[in-house]
Amino acid sequence: MTTHPSPAHLGQAALARGLAESGLLSPQWREVWECTPRHRFIPDPAWKQLRRGCELVTGREREDLIYSDEPVVTQLDNGEPGGPGIATSSNSMPSMVARQLCALDVRPGHRVLEIGTATGYVAALLCRRVGEENVYSVEIDGVLGAQARANLAGEGLYPTLRVTDGEMGLADHAPYDRILSTCALREVPLSLADQLAPDGVLVAPMTDAFYGGATVRLARQANGDLSGPFFHGASYMPMRSHRLEKLGPPDTTTARHRQTNLDPERLYPLGFALYGSARLPGVRMTHGFHQDVRTVWLQAEDDSAAVAGGGTVTVYGPRDLWAEAEEVEAEYGARGRPDTPAFGLTVTSHGQHLWLHAPTEVICAKSPGEAAGL
């Protein structure tokens, strides 16, 4: 293990204590967290993520944010000036980092590949747990990569860093005992799966058009596939090549209105969203509030859409997406409304699929006939 840890910061000690008392840090990890002050990895300026954008934080508010269990936004608009102020990089919520590291189950000497260096904070934690010579980290953004390198050097840590697209991993140092993605994936790239050692583990937040995010722990199987359960909701910024393009507005001339007995609140749990993502692939679901009423928006690439809230629904386009959502929600209810840990993911050389309770229980997409209500 690399020596010369940074002196404990009072805020960091309190943060580590809170995570440990919540059961998220083992004694070994707590020691690592206590000697890796978060503020040394936060650039200036930094922002707080709000519902409708990002707010610059300074002074005491900045310090309080850094040592809270909240993400700290460290880049807007890919670093380009004059943008709309969309968060594109951050120092993640400490409790989520702790959960991911716990699921990763690293041991001293494990070779670890991190996808998304960002500020270098997670790489620093890994260096102090498994040894800097065993940590490899890639970052697509050259400016962020340079800042992370400087942050890590300031702590006396020198892991192998590379500015490259994380989707490709880092093949020249493979295989890895553990792979951790700190950006959300729509699909697990086969290039990453191929770089995982036998009995290796990959932990990644996943995202889909139908759900905001859920973290999965995948273990390499004897046949080479990766498979494992989801274990917690997690909203992470997507890998740049995995970002969804915005769809245009629906054709309002096709609008149809009706009453609905399905409360949008019943579509909010992550368990339903995981189930729905498999049954309605390609359909996008967004939750929000309109005039303080919980509202759900559904949209598909064929110009079908639906918006529901307050007991009414408006549907657009060739498909009745709300009727499909009602059917899927009824199926989910009939299955006992399973929660997030009941779901899992399997990645093969031919693609990936979700399952419920066991890898053999694959959740199949609705057939075209089902989607049309035939």
Catalytic residues: 89
Helices 10-21 and 94-104, packing angle to 10 deg? 60
Helices 121-130 and 27-34, packing angle to 10 deg? 130
CA distance to 194, 196, 341, per residue, from 226 (Å): 10, 9, 17
Strand stretches in the chain, DSSP E = 46-50, 53-57, 72-76, 87-91, 112-115, 135-139, 160-163, 176-181, 196-206, 214-220, 226-233, 256-259, 284-290, 293-299, 305-309, 312-316, 343-348, 351-356
DSSP state, residue 247: P
286 DSSP β-pair partners: 297
Residues 6+ apart with CB under 8 A from 51: none
Diameter of the chain measured on Cα atoms = 67
Distance of alpha carbon 301 from alpha carbon 299, whole angstroms: 7
CB 326 within 8 Å of CB 308 = no
CB 10 within 8 Å of CB 162 = no
Distance of alpha carbon 178 from alpha carbon 137, whole angstroms: 12
Q: Which amino acid is at 102?
A: C
Distance of alpha carbon 246 from alpha carbon 22, whole angstroms: 38
Residues 6+ apart with CB under 8 A from 350: none
